[in-house]
Structure 1
Amino acid sequence: MRTKLTNTLVVDDSKAILIVMEAILNELEMSETTTTCLSAVEALSKVKADINYFDAIFTDLNMPEMDGMELIRHLGEIGYCGAIVIISEMDPKIISLASDLAKQHNVHLIGNLAKPVQLNQVSTLLTKIVQLNSHTLVKERPITRAKLITALKRNEITPYYQPKINIHTNLIQSIEVLARIVSNKDERIILPSRFISLAEQCELINEVTFTLLEKACVDLQQIKKQLGNALKLSFNVSPRQLDDLDTPNKLLDIIKSHDVSPHNIVIEITEQHALSSYTQLETLNRLRIFGFGISLDDFGIGFTNINQLKQLPFTEVKIDRSFISHIETDMFSQVVVSSLINMTTHEELELVAEGVERPEELAYLKHYQTNLSIQGFLFSQPKSKAEFIPWAQNWIKTATKTKKN
C-alpha cells in the first residue's frame, strides 16, 4: 500500500488555519505537496483543472461566497474521487447528516478535524485516507493477461479463508473466501490486487469467480466436518457480474452440484461502485429469492446511503476498515458506526467490522451492545485450507473455554 499522499488541498478562509495545516502536513511527511486556498471558489477551480490531481481535500464549513457543504456538492457533480475531510467542530447530528449527504453527492467524506487542529488528529485521518485510496490505487503492478490465462489453465486459482468472529462470544460466525493465485511450481502467492481488475478488464472474471466458488464448495464440506455445520461462506462477486442476469443461475448451479445450499453462502458486493441499474437490482433480488445472503462490502467508501440500505435486499453490511482504524479516538467514525449499528439493529441486518488490527479498536467496539461480528489481522490473516482448519479448531477450543469461565 502506498504510505503517503501525492497532493493535498486545504481550504479555509483563515490564514492561520492554512499555516497550521501546512506545517502539520510537512511535519508528518505524508503529503508530497500541499496546496492552500482562502476560498472554496478558488479551490474548486483548482480541482476542475485536473480532477485526479488531489488525493485529499481538507475544507472548512463556514466560508463566505461558497461554504464547505456547497463545495462538497460541486465536487460530487464534477466526479472528484479523492477523500474529503471537514475542518470544523461538528455536532454528532451534523456529522451523521453530512456523511449521508456526501454519499448522495457521490463523494468520500471520511472525517472531521476540530479546531484548534491537532497533529495526532491529522495523522489519524491521513492514515484513513491512505486506506481509502488503497481500494482504487494499484499497490503492485498487475500480472499480464497471458499469466492470468496460464494460471486458469493450470488450476492455480486458490481459495484462502478469513473468519468473521462474534465480538461477544468469540465464536466464528462465518468465513470469507479470498482469491489467490498459488503457483504449482514454487507455491509463490499472487494477491488479488494484481489480477482481479485485470480479470474484469479481460472479461475473465467469470472464470476466476466460478473456479474459486467450485473449490470453496469442495472445501466447505471438510470445513464443516471439522468445525461444525453452522458455518457459512462469504464469497465476493464483482459488481460487473451483477450486470449479467444469468449470474444467480450460474452460482446456483455450481453450489447445487456440490450439494451446498444457497442459505450457506453470502454474496459480498463491494460498495465502491454505486448499485443503480435495473439489471443490477434485479440480479440482487433474484439472488435473495434463491436464498443467498447478500452483504454490502466496504461500506463507507462508496455511495450507498443508510436510506438505500433499508430499500435494497441486503442481509449484511460490512463497515470499511477506514472507519474502524483508530475509532476509539475518531468522533466522525464513532458517529457513522453508531448510526449504522442503530439502523442495522432495527432492520435486523448482520453487521461486520472489517480491518480490526489493534486491541484498542476491539475494546472500543465491545462497548456497542449489539451482535457485531469482527474481521481483521488482530485475529487471523487469510489462510489456506490446510492452515485455516487447525487454526480455527484451536480458536474454537479457546473461545469455548473462555465462554464457560
Structure 2
Amino acid sequence: MNSNYEHVLILEDDAVTAEHLSKILVKQGITQVTRFESGFDVLHEVEHKQHPDLILCDLRLSDMDGLQFVRFLTETHYEGDIGFISGNDSRVLDVVQQLARSLGYSVLGGMTKPVTPNQVVRMLMARPINEAKQQPHSIYSLSANQIIKGIRTGALVPYYQPKVDIKDSRVIGFESLARWHDKKTDKILSPATFIPVAERFGIISELSLAFLKAVLSDFNQFQAFDEKVTVAVNFSIDTLSDRHLPDMLIDLLREYNVSPSRIVIEVTESRLANDRINVLEALARLHLAGFRLSIDDFGTGYSSLYRLKHTPFEELKLDRSFVQDAVNDNSAKAVIRSSMQLANELNMQVVAEGVETEAEQQLVDDMGCGIMQGFRFAKPQPIERAFNIDWPLPPTSPVETHPTDDARV
C-alpha cells in the first residue's frame, strides 16, 4: 500500500501496543513514525515543532484522557487528521469522534485493541486524496465587527450540495452551506470562523437572514431542475425564537418571487432539547405558510417522540456519524433502523447525510433509505460550479471520497 501519509505520530503509553502499531505503519509505507507516551509531550511537539500528518491517539493515557487531549489540541494550530485507539466499548470511541468532528477535525475513525493490520489499512485509506487543507480548528475567528461589516458587504457565500434519490439517480434538492469570502486574502473561510461568534454576540439572526437573501439571489439558476427541487437553509433555535421570523421570511420570498414550497428550513436536533413556545409557534407558522421543515443531525440529540409528533417536521436527516459508522458498528445500524421506523410511522422523508463510500451507500439503501447526501455524489460547491455534474447522476458514480464538511448557518 502506498500511503498518502508521510509522518504519523502515535500517542500510546503501552509500549507493546505502540511498537506493534509502529511496525504495521512502516509496512504500509509510512516514512516517519514517532511515538509518545505523554499527551502533554505531544501537545508541546505539535505546538513548537513540525506537525505530523496524522495523530493516532489512545483514549486512556497516564496523564490525560483522549477527550482532554482533543480539547487541548485545538490550541496548537494542528491541521492534520486524527484517529483513535481504544480498548473500551465502541460507544466510547463514538463519543470522542463526535467531539473531534464538532471541533472541525478530519477524523478517520477508531481502532479497537488489539489493533490489527486490517484496521490500520482501513483507517489510512479513509484519508482524502489531494484534499485542500481545512481552516485551523477553533484557532482563528472573525470578530463581531468583522461579521457585521461582512454581512453588509456580501461576504457570505452559499455553497450547495445535492440530495439524491438513489432509485432513479435524481436530484431532489440541495442543501445550502455557509462560507465566508475573506476579500483581503481571497480565501473562503469555514463556518467555524464566524458562526460561533455570531451566536455568542447575538447577531446570528442578522447573519441567517443575510445568508437566506444570498440563497434567494441564486434561485433563478435552479430553474433548470424540476420545480419540486428544494433548497434547504439551516436556522438556529435562537433565530427561530423570534416570533416575527415567519412574516420576515414570507416577505423575503415574495420579494424574490420564490415559492415557500421550494425552501426547506433545517433545524439541528440537539438544539431542540428544550421546548420554547416561540420556536414551536414559528415552526408551525412556517409549515402553514408552505415551507418544508427538516430535523437535522438526527440521533445526536434527545428529541422525544412527543416533540416529533407535535412539531410538523416533514424530513428527518440521519447524522453522518451513524451513516459512516454503520458499516462496521451494530449500534449505529440500530440507530438507523429505529430512525427509519420512526420516520415511516410519522410519514417523514429520510435523508442519509455524509454518504462517502460505496459500502455506506449500499448499506443505507438496503436499510430502506434511498435519499442520500454526501461526497460520494458531490461536494459542496458555489453556485457557478454546483451544477457541473451530469444530471441525473449515473446509477453508480465513482466519485472520490472526502470528509464531509459540516458547514451550517
User: What TM-score, normalized to structure 2?
Assistant: 0.66
- Pick one of 227, 230, 236 that aligns with 2:228: 230
Alpha-carbon distance between aligned partners in 2 of 1:168 and 1:129, rounded to the nearest angstrom = 35
Contact in 2 for aligned 1:158/1:212 (Cα 8 Å): yes
Between Structure 1 and Structure 2, how many residues are aligned? 305
Alpha-carbon distance between aligned partners in 1 of 2:266 and 2:67, rounded to the nearest angstrom = 27
Structure 1 counterpart of 2:232, one-letter code: S
Map Cα deviations across residues 43-95 of structure 1 (whole Å, 9 max, x no partner). Answer: xxxxxxxxx98839xxxxxxxxxxxxxxxxxxxxxxxxxxxxxxxxxxxxxxx
Map Cα deviations across residues 3-44 of structure 1 (whole Å, 9 max, x no partner). Answer: 99x9xxxxxxxxxxxxx9xx99x8x942464489xxxxxxxx
Map Cα deviations across residues 231-264 of structure 1 (whole Å, 9 max, x no partner). Answer: 1010000111121111111111111111111111
Identical aligned pairs, as a percentage?
A: 28
- Pick one of 53, 57, 61 that aligns with 1:30: 57
- Residue in 1 that maps onto 2:109: none
Matches within 5 A, 1:225-374: 226-273=224-271, 274-370=273-369, 372-374=370-372
User: SS where residue 391 of structure 2 aligns?
Assistant: helix
Alpha-carbon distance between aligned partners in 1 of 2:188 and 2:262, rounded to the nearest angstrom = 28
Structure 1 counterpart of 2:167, one-letter code: H
Task: Classify 1:140/1:55 alpha carbon distance in 2 versus 1 (closer, same or farther; 3 Å).
Answer: same
Task: Classify 1:280/1:348 alpha carbon distance in 2 versus 1 (closer, same or farther; 3 Å).
Answer: same
- Pick one of 377, 380, 393 that aligns with 1:379: 377
Task: Classify 1:322/1:400 alpha carbon distance in 2 versus 1 (closer, same or farther; 3 Å).
Answer: closer
Alpha-carbon distance between aligned partners in 1 of 2:257 and 2:333, rounded to the nearest angstrom = 42
Alpha-carbon distance between aligned partners in 2 of 1:204 and 1:343, rounded to the nearest angstrom = 35
Alpha-carbon distance between aligned partners in 2 of 1:383 and 1:128, rounded to the nearest angstrom = 30
Deviation at 1:368, TM superposition (A): 2.2
Contact in 1 for aligned 2:205/2:238 (Cα 8 Å): no
Contact in 2 for aligned 1:30/1:126 (Cα 8 Å): no
Contact in 2 for aligned 1:162/1:383 (Cα 8 Å): yes
Contact in 2 for aligned 1:316/1:352 (Cα 8 Å): yes
Structure 2 counterpart of 1:55, one-letter code: L
Q: Which has the higher helix share?
A: 1
Deviation at 1:307, TM superposition (A): 4.5
Contact in 1 for aligned 2:340/2:368 (Cα 8 Å): no
- Residue in 2 that maps onto 1:55: 67
Alpha-carbon distance between aligned partners in 1 of 2:237 and 2:86, rounded to the nearest angstrom = 39
Task: Classify 1:216/1:29 alpha carbon distance in 2 versus 1 (closer, same or farther; 3 Å).
Answer: closer
Map Cα deviations across residues 103-144 of structure 1 (whole Å, 9 max, x no partner). Answer: xxxxxxxxxxxxxx996984x963663234433676443222
Structure 2 counterpart of 1:357, one-letter code: E
Alpha-carbon distance between aligned partners in 1 of 2:364 and 2:254, rounded to the nearest angstrom = 37
- Residue in 1 that maps onto 2:78: none
Alpha-carbon distance between aligned partners in 1 of 2:86 and 2:321, rounded to the nearest angstrom = 20
Deviation at 1:369, TM superposition (A): 3.4
Alpha-carbon distance between aligned partners in 1 of 2:352 and 2:99, rounded to the nearest angstrom = 15
Alpha-carbon distance between aligned partners in 2 of 1:332 and 1:233, rounded to the nearest angstrom = 32
Specify every segment of 5 or more residues in structure 1 that has no aligned partner in the other structure, as ranges. 7-19, 37-51, 57-116
User: What TM-score, normalized to structure 1?
Assistant: 0.67
User: SS where residue 233 of structure 2 aligns?
Assistant: strand
- Pick one of 65, 84, 102 that aligns with 1:135: 102
Contact in 1 for aligned 2:179/2:189 (Cα 8 Å): yes
Which consecutive aligned stretches of 4+ in structure 1 deviate over 6 angstroms post-superposition? 117-121
CA root-mean-square deviation: 3.6
Structure 1 counterpart of 2:161, one-letter code: Q
